[in-house]
Structure 1
C-alpha cells in the first residue's frame, strides 16, 4: 500500500505507539573526556584537535533506535515539499504491539490510544510505509 503525499497526518500517527531514539552511553573515561572538552568549548578554549574530538563524541552520542526498537517498529517514508525523501521512524503498529511488549520495547501498561482503537487504513494510505 502506498500513495505519495507531502506529510504524515497526525491522525495516522496517533494510532501508533511512538518509540524514541536513545542516546548511546559513553564509557566512564569517554564521559570524563567529553565533559572536559565541553568545558573547554564553553570557555572558547578548544583548539582544532579538540573540536574534532568533540565532533567525534557528538556523532557517537547521536540518538539512535536500539536493535530491539528497530525490530519492533517501522516508519514512514514520504516525499517532502522540496522533492527529497523524508523519514519518520520509530512507530509500532497496533498489530505489532504485543510483540513489542514481549520484547520489552514498550511497557504493557503504558497508556496508548493505539491500544484502544483499531487502525482502519484507507485503501490508498497517504504515505509509503516501510516497516523493518
Structure 2
C-alpha cells in the first residue's frame, strides 16, 4: 500500500513539475488518460529509484550532507530525478510501437533540482492525505 501511495504522490508532483517547468516534459502529445498513465509509470519508477538507490547515495554522500548541513540532499534528489529520466528514456524506446508513449524528459540538472523540490513537496502533501491513518491517530 505504501508503494501505491508514494507512486500517486510522485505522479501528482511530476504533473505539477511538468506543468510549471519548461525544462521538464513528457514525450509526445498524448490524451489526458495516456498522460495520467505515463505519469503513474514514471511515478512508480521514481518511487523505486528512491527506495533502492537513494539510500546508497545517502550513505556514500554522508560527509557532504554533514558539511553542507543537509543541503546536499537537493543534489541527491536532483540526481534521483535525472536517473528516473534516463531510465524512462529506455522505457520510451520500448514503447515506441505502442499507443502509449512512456517517459519523462529533464533538460538540465538545475531543472532536476527544482523539479525534485516540487515533486517532494507535492508528494509529501499527497502521501500525508492518502497515507495510512495509524500515523495520524498516534498508533
The structure richer in helix per residue is: 2
Normalising to structure 1: TM-score of the pair? 0.28
Normalising to structure 2: TM-score of the pair? 0.27
Structure of greater Rg: 1
The structure richer in strand per residue is: 1
